[in-house]
Structure 1
Amino acid sequence: MSLNTSSVSVMLPIGDAAAAQEFYSDRVGLPFEGTNSEGSLLFGLPGGSQLVLLPRPDQPPSPSTAVSFVVDDVEAEIADLKARGLVFQDYDLPGFKTVDHVCVMASAKAAWFLDPHGNVLCLHQNL
């Protein structure tokens, strides 16, 4: 087996398992697959990959994007997720500004939101 044909598990720390399960299931829309023996929450991702949320209330989230979901239409996804209660981040930095939550870059459009632990998640549409 080669790594280029393997599914992957993305692992993120969480502080509150109940809040994380509600967020990722009900708001983001990922299928909840249960918990493992360590109490981590497991969510299905395309291609057999998995999101694993690790109960680590004392571990701070990464300040950088932890997960980015590739979408066909970033504006449509924003509208759908906002209807489910997600709040998107806005930025106004030199060379990096969002308009209606979307930053248009040379090769992609992107939008960011935070999970209940503060992990940075992204939607991006390749141009």
Structure 2
Amino acid sequence: MNADDRNLLARGRVATRLPAQNLDRARRFYYEQLGLEPVDERPGGLLYRCGGTDFALFESTGSSTGAFTQMGWEVDDIETIVAELKRRGVVFEEVDLPGFRTEDGIAEIDGNYPSKGARGERAAWFRDSEGNLLGIGEPVAAAAPA
């Protein structure tokens, strides 16, 4: 197997799939709270596009545990976005654990994503109408070399 054979998926686009027990309720949440409209609709599914990347909500009898972040957006100004989403009724997770705490829904995470040239990330999490845990992150730039 050569290197190109091992990297078959590296050239593919990644798209998230999120389960929804009630697609109409999910559509309302994504429109009213997040301001998103589907770019395509098929029986049992809604397709959304954000920043050139797709994600789909699909009708499912199963549900997410919500125990981990299933999808996230990388943004430039997390404070403004969190404030606007709160105004629209989005409820952010509050966490108070040793070494990991949110303040007004936003956590400071040191050492996250060093491969992106960031020294950390500011992050916030909320659940959609179907219990899927979604995140918002703003990379914190690495300090310039002295």
Query: What SS does the aligned partner of 1:32 have?
Result: coil
Which residue of structure 2 aligns with residue 7 of structure 1? 13
Q: 1: distance between equivalents of 2:13 and 2:37? A: 16
Residue from 40, 45, 64 that aligns with 2:45: 40
Structure with the larger RCO, 1 or 2 (CA within 8 Å, 6+ apart): 1
Letter aligned with residue 71 of structure 1: V
Distance, in Å, in 2 between the alignment partners of 1:100 and 1:77 is 12
Residues 77-107 of structure 1 show CA distances to partners (whole Å, capped at 9, x for unaligned) of 1011111111111001121110111110110
Q: CA-atom RMSD, angstroms?
A: 1.6
Task: State percent identity of aligned pairs.
Answer: 33
Which residue pairs with 1:96 in the alignment? 100
Partner of 2:31: 25
Q: Give the whole-Å Cα distance in 2 for the aligned partners of 1:114 and 1:59.
A: 12
Alignment TM-score, normalising by the size of structure 2: 0.77
Offset of residue 26 of structure 1: 2.3
Larger radius of gyration: 2
Aligned positions, number? 124
* Partner SS for 2:86: helix
Matched, 1:74 2:75: no
